[in-house]
Amino acid sequence: MIPLVYDQVNAWGKDDEFFLALLKKSDVKTIADLGCGTGRLTTHFAAANYEVTAIDPNAEAIGVAKGKASSGAVKWIVGDSTDLPANAFDAIIMTANVAQVFLTEESWEAVVADAYRALKPGGHFIFDTRNPLAKVWEEWEKDTTPDLAENPETGEPLEIWTTYDGMADNVFTFYETVKNANTGDIVVREKMELKFRTREAIRDSLEQANFSQVHVYGDWEFEEAEQEAHSFIFHGVK
């Protein structure tokens, strides 16, 4: 996550509409947005009148989020799932594949357990994750052109170059380098690692943590997930 350019290269999409629609269907009031990043979706949750707590370990991202309209109504926390209070939320949501940042089984199981602890009885745990069987990284690796952005502080043009280190132990590693397009100077470079878990492994981890009524949608049309779906959207109930 590079807060400087994140919103410019992650435009609003069908996935974001899906999350808003699923929350509406779930009839919830209090939400924790875990891994909220720059608040891309968080501020829409607040604008929809949910009572929102938003958490992310990236202080720079939270700083960007706090500058947005509707941010004043949100409780922002620089932290992680261990900072979630117990029995406090009707829904905990992790959008844009936050679930894939937890690289070890221990860290993933800890987040699932923390979400369970922080939900009220009957509360909803909702998140998306990419399907390893769809091998989306093979498409990513073909893209050798930079994304373009603008430095919001200076107005200078930026290029975002991605290089790929490949897949090992179901973790895909790549690097993003943001350069000043005029001078070629590196503005920021970040290593990214994403864990790809199977639908069965995730379902098992939710059931182990006592979540019930686990439902898996495929992509963004409220359809049941097929084997070859690009993404899975999990919805479990405490």
Ligand X SMILES: C[S@@+](CC[C@H](N)C(=O)[O-])C[C@H]1O[C@@H](n2cnc3c(N)ncnc32)[C@H](O)[C@@H]1O
Q: Which residues contact 206 (CB under 8 A, 6 or more apart)?
A: 112, 125, 214, 234, 236
For strand 223-224 and strand 212-218, is the pairing parallel, antiparallel, or unpaired? antiparallel
Pairing of strands 171-180, 186-195: antiparallel
Contact between 37 and ligand X (CB under 6 A)? Answer: yes
For ligand X, which stretch binds (CB under 6 A), given 23-31, 89-97, 124-132, 202-210? Answer: 89-97
Contacts to ligand X from residues 55-84, by CB under 6 A: 56-58, 61, 80-81
Q: How far is the CB of 39 from ligand X (least distance, A)?
A: 8
Select from 28, 64, 74, 98 the one that contacts ligand X (CB under 6 A). Answer: 98
Q: At what angle are helices 105-118 and 199-208 packed, to 10 degrees?
A: 50
> Residue 80 or residue 156: which is nearer to ligand X going by CB?
80
> Do 211 and 201 contact (CB within 8 A), yes or no?
no
Q: Which is nearer to ligand X, 104 or 154 (by Cβ)? A: 104
Looking at 2, 31, 32, 40, which residue binds ligand X (CB under 6 A)? 40
Minimum distance, C-beta of residue 176 to ligand X, in the bound complex (Å)? 12
The CB-of-47 to ligand X minimum distance in angstroms stands at: 15
Query: Can you tell me which of 95, 129, 131, 205 binds ligand X, judged by CB under 6 A?
Result: 95
> Which residues make up the interface to ligand X (CB under 6 A)?
1, 10, 34-37, 40-41, 56-58, 61, 80-81, 95-98, 101
